[in-house]
Amino acid sequence: MSVAQNPLTGPMRNAMGNVIMYSYNGMNIVRSKPFNPKDPKSEKQLRNRARMSLIADMYKIFKSIITLGFPERDERLVPQNMFVAVNFNTAFVMVDNVPVISYPLMLLAKGSLPKVTILQAQADADGITINYDAHALTPDLNVNDEVIACASLLSGDLLKVKQFIGFEHIGTIHLTYPNLQAEDVVCCYVFVRSGDGEKASDSVYVEVTD
């Protein structure tokens, strides 16, 4: 029940029914709350919640990469906002009516620079060796711009490396990890970023083989 020194002007506190009453800075405050609080759980809402939860998990894993991958954004936004925006509607497939992350569809970077063309990616005793077409990037990038690669492993490790594009027509970038096999790799991505850090390309999913 509610307590009031005077029903019109005195201090008021506690609740009665769906009405909450309290005093604040000499004022009597009366608020109402719904009789039947709702937590909507339609099929669409449950799918959206599942998507958001999965994207949050991906952000935790790839945070250090995502921080580099979205330089071309509104100054009011942070990389996490952009990561969610570009993946929420497109990075999923439905399995038994449940959304599941599709690694080939997920983007860890997005921008106006040309995407990297991957020629080969192999797991070996030293890690992952990725060959890419560096010559195809030269009209838009120069030797001082960077290529960035990362790979998430079943062990929970995140491999990452960045290096200058350099002068070679066929570029090579290496992710070091001993005695690695292709089945140990959950997903792998490559993108480029300008030397001044102001532009990036869309990330490219890399299929790693033995």
Q: Encode the chain (210 residues) as per-residue pLDDT tens digits.
A: 444 555 555 555 665 565 666 665 566 666 666 655 566 678 888 889 999 999 999 999 999 999 999 999 998 899 999 999 999 999 999 999 899 999 999 999 999 999 999 999 999 999 999 999 999 998 889 889 999 999 999 999 999 999 999 889 999 999 999 999 999 999 999 999 999 999 999 999 999 999
Orientation angle between helical segments 43-69 and 79-87, nearest 10 degrees? 130
- The domains located in the chain, with CATH, are 43-101 (no CATH), 118-205 (2.60.40)
Rg (CA), the chain: 26
User: Are 141 and 194 spatial neighbours (Cβ–Cβ below 8 Å)?
Assistant: yes
Assign 78 to helix, strand or coil. coil
Q: Report the C-alpha gap between 114 and 110 in whole angstroms.
A: 10
Give the type of residue at 13.
R
- Residue burial 110-124, b: 16+ Cβ < 10 Å; e: rest: bbebebbebeebebe
Q: Supply angle C-alpha 20, 24, 27, rounded to 5.
A: 90
